[in-house]
Structure 1
Amino acid sequence: MADEPVVWIEAESSDMARAIMAAQSTFPEFARHAELEHFRIVPAFGLVAIKAFFPDPARLTRGEHMFVTDIFTNGRSVTGTLASDPSDLPGLAAGQEVTFPIANVSDWFLVLGRRGIGGFTTDVLKKHVTAAERAGFESQEPLVWYQHRGEDGASAELAAAPVCTACGMPDLVARAHRTGACELCAGGGVRCDCSGCGAPLFRYPDAPRECHHCLVTSRK
């Protein structure tokens, strides 16, 4: 994954704050897709990742938003692997396992082929760089994943997603059944929480009600 321009925040702009709130409000649905990916023989997504805010230990109001992959959440905290080295945060390095509260999540990304879903903060980034900088960034990840939506933001894109006629939830990956039901409901599935840790799940009939993490841990 190419490095995104480093974003240091002293006081979040109102645009950034709204983008982060939108990402956090939709995070449980993202987490269900991320968890289900562990059970697929052929992955559905080219990338499953989040961005999270890591504070500077010396100045807690200042810090860096960084990509995290290999994600697990129990509904309260997130554990994952740092995808790159920080610019100037001591004690953190690419490949390191990190755990932090969900409140530190600043964005999430699901990539189907080269088309991204989520990426709320990329809309803010595009507004706060010069035209020349934007042209360069848009050929790199993560902005390259969102060229399809032009000036429309992530929230507008999700608002236009088809709403399931059975569960009333928008289908993030827009694969509605011909009946108007989402893929989950059409297959007899439900949204539920892991019986072990509380992680948000998608589950189909006869599938275990534990998340991938709990199942792996119980077998050790």
Structure 2
Amino acid sequence: MAYGFPIKRMIFWGGLAAVIWAGQQMGLLSSSQSAAVAGTNSSNNVIQVPTADQSMQEALETARASLPTFLEAAANAPASWQTVTIKVALEGETQIENIWVADFHQDGADQYRGRLSNDPVDLPGMKAGDEVQFSYAQIKDWAFVEDGRGYGFYSVRAMLPMMDEAQANGMRAFLAEDPLPKGW
């Protein structure tokens, strides 16, 4: 169950889409390219994870524990951060879709706005770039890219065992060894 909705499964439009988006933003990839990480392609960038998956739940709890620090840092992100994004749980047509949102900002005490970083799977009529509104409670993960390395990305780290070998190796090469930057 995710924020009160009795949904059996959650979609994690994994960090793969965020990595692709980050690569595009940094000029490493054109927007027509389908992979920023070795082993990642359009056929393996969606992973369905059962809501009760223990490793995913632990990853999201860890991400949420450092979320206030991240949000404070993101409000004044240094120029060295090439990408700043959060994963938000949005109620889809048939399930909860956890999707990366960029260009986010606080829009009230507990409300935020941002733009979808990729095309959703279960949010009919929505596409990458569309604005969404969400609450603090709906934020499940956070990430930023600095010097070509991914920090945060807790949900992606939890999905590594679910990925095929080439994809997982590519993600491991992209992710910073420690999800938290020094000093956090």
Cα deviation for residue 145 of structure 1 reads: 3.1
Residues 120-179 of structure 1 show CA distances to partners (whole Å, capped at 9, x for unaligned) of 1121110222324424x52xxxx6530x41xxx63xx56xx4xxxxxxxxx23xxxxxxx
Residues 189-217 of structure 1 show CA distances to partners (whole Å, capped at 9, x for unaligned) of xxxxxxxxxxxxxxxxxxxxxxxxxxxxx
Task: Report whether the alignment pairs 1:69 with 2:87.
Answer: no
Residue pairs, 1:174-213, within 5 angstroms:
none
Distance 2:52 2:125 in 1: 24
Distance 2:50 2:90 in 1: 12
Cα deviation for residue 63 of structure 1 reads: 2.5
Q: After TM superposition, which residue ranges in structure 1, 4 or more long, deviate above 3 angstroms?
A: 7-10
Q: Percent identity?
A: 24
Residue pairs, 1:1-220, within 5 angstroms:
2=20, 5-37=45-77, 43-57=79-93, 59=94, 62-73=95-106, 74=108, 76-135=110-169, 137-138=170-171, 144-146=173-175, 148-149=176-177, 154=179, 161=182, 171-172=183-184
Does the C-alpha gap of structure 1 residues 92 and 144 become closer, same or farther in structure 2, counting only changes over 3 Å?
Answer: farther
**Tell me, what secondary structure is at the counterpart of 2:80?**
coil
Question: How many equivalent residue pairs?
Answer: 143
Distance 2:167 2:174 in 1: 17
Q: Partner amino acid for 1:123?
A: R
Highest relative contact order (Cα 8 Å, sep 6+), 1 or 2?
Answer: 2
Distance 1:112 1:64 in 2: 26
After superposition, the CA RMSD in angstroms is 2.4
Larger C-alpha radius of gyration, 1 or 2? 1
Cα deviation for residue 12 of structure 1 reads: 3.5
In structure 2, the partner of 1:210 is: none
Distance 2:167 2:150 in 1: 21
Distance 2:20 2:70 in 1: 22
Q: Partner amino acid for 1:89?
A: L
Does the C-alpha gap of structure 1 residues 144 and 132 become closer, same or farther in structure 2, counting only changes over 3 Å?
Answer: closer
Cα deviation for residue 10 of structure 1 reads: 4.6
